[in-house]
Amino acid sequence: MVRLCEERDLPDGVQRGLVGPILNRFEKRGFKLVAMKMTTPSEELLREHYADLQSKPFFPGLLKYMTSGPVVATVWEGKDVVKQGRAILGATNPLQSAPGTIRGDYAIDVGRNVCHGSDSVETAKKEIGLWFKKEEVQSYKLANYAWIYE
């Protein structure tokens, strides 16, 4: 039932003051925040994280953008959180994102789409391992757990 999802408010989300509203959407949905940190990612970390994109023509620009300032990395836990997290974020292209999603409400351009979210449980595990040490991911039970899950 419980899966972990890695989500990040990208430099544009941080610069625009959207960290709180983004976190709030996950919390209001009932997901549990188990790790969070603000960091400016290194080029080495980003090359590993985006290894599948290194041959793309936009990759140098992505590196420059992602190292331009801090991001807020989070790990969320809950039932089907990867799939549901993707629904909360909206489509990668904000112009295809429905109103009410993070990208649908706060973004216009693909290259400034405010946040990143894991696309599968396997990817989430890999990404969490890149961004967090094992001891940085907390284990606890929410006081309102019984009001969220049967």
Please confirm, yes or no, whether 49 is among the known catalytic residues. Answer: no
Considering only CA atoms, which of 44, 45, 37, 48 is closest in space to residue 7? 37
| 3-state helix, strand and coil shares in percent for the chain, rounded to the nearest 5 | 50, 20, 35
| DSSP 3-state of 30 | coil
Which H helix or E strand runs over 83? helix 81-89
Distances (CA, A) of 6 to 40, 74, 137, 143: 16, 6, 11, 22
Catalytic residue among 8, 32, 49, 116: 116
Q: Tokens at residue 146, please?
A: 């019984």
Catalytic residue set:
116
